[in-house]
Amino acid sequence: MFDDMAKQSTVWLEGTGPEAEIVLSSRIRLARNISGIKFPPAAAKEDREHVLAMAVDVFKKDSIFFKGRILYVDDIDAIDRSFLIERHLVSPEFMMNLPGRGLFVGQDEKLCIMINEEDHLRIQSISSGLTLEDTFDAANKADDYLSRRIEFDFDDDFGYLTSCPTNVGTGLRASVLIHLPGLVLTRDIDNVISWISKLGLAVRGFYGEGTDVLGNLFQVSNQTTLGRSEEDIIESLQSMTGQIIARENAARERLFNDARVQIEDKIWRAYGLLLYARILTSEDVMNLLSAVRLGYGMGVIKEMPLALINELLLLSQPAHLQKYLNKTMDAEERDVQRAMLVREKLNKTVKQP
């Protein structure tokens, strides 16, 4: 499954959109439940199957908008589940076995709808760069189509009802995936995280936690939705992201003024290792790509376009690597094949000095 998808990047890693060099992607998720049916974890199997059937019915009826593929989780094998998780199309929890789960993936992967995750429907839209409003529009449109044919659980006082109380209200979770190597290198990151948290947003390492954050990638998202409008949530995240970008850029400028050659050394060494290493773990690649991405942002290195940096970030992950190369491999073999793939992609794209 997904052999076609494995050969291509995904929409949120196109490296386009505003601020795409620092903000990898913007994501919107809307949680919706169907009136009169228990939430998925508590629902009977038949209820979940009923929900799935209703959703599939909408996708088929509104097939011009819902252009893409409908998948049944039971049919997806282990490596394809990892593949979907690595692509951030689904949550890891969603890939656990629970009968009646299904998935809609839009043709360009911008839209993805999980059926019977924690809520009956989780509508997700994701785009490259800082594009929260556009991304919200896409999710919102899908919500409109669905709500024309399905009655959602809605309370006049509270808003949309959801399985987890933190989602009650708009059911909206907006997030950005942001690359903050400058703040990590200047050791300002802890201050910035605590400042963001105080303002009511959640920040976490995107790969790994605490000091083990890989690739200096962080996810910033709203914490609660109750009592706030969609516009309010999105505007507030948009504005905070702008401030984080400003702090990151200030950190980079400080680095450039105070330790320019050290930073350049770090960036070029990373590039040299990507180009020549014969063994690369996915952690290696994430950290090396982080340095190269910083170099791209600072104008130090022009050899690697952003789209390639993003593509390698995606393809280096275990399931992607195996699907891309079309063979099952243990970790040791993957590290060798990963290094080979990175090398080939670089040599193909990059004009050597």
User: Binding residues for its own copies, per CB under 8 A?
Assistant: 261-262, 264-265, 268-269, 271-273, 275-279, 336, 339, 347, 352-353
Q: Smallest gap, in angstroms, from Cβ of residue 352 to its own copies?
A: 4
Looking at the Cβ atoms of 91 and 349, the one nearer to its own copies is: 349
- Sign, CA dihedral 343-348-349-351, equals positive
Residue type, 262: Q
The nearest distance, CB 23 to its own copies, in angstroms, is 28
* Residue 133 or 264 with smaller CB distance to its own copies: 264
Degrees to nearest 5, angle at CA 113 with 110 and 115: 165
Assign 252 to helix, strand or coil: helix
> Cα 230 to chain center, whole Å?
20
User: Computed from CA positions of residues 80, 85, 88, 93, in that sequence, does the dihedral angle turn out positive or negative?
Assistant: positive
- Minimum distance from residue 242 beta carbon to its own copies (Å): 32
User: In sequence order, what are the beta bridge partners of 179?
Assistant: 217
CB of 347 to its own copies, least distance (A): 6
Q: Is the dihedral of CA 190, 194, 196, 200 positive or negative?
A: positive
**Paired strand residues for 305:** none
Beta strands in 36-106 (DSSP E): 68-72, 102-106
Minimum distance from residue 274 beta carbon to its own copies (Å): 8
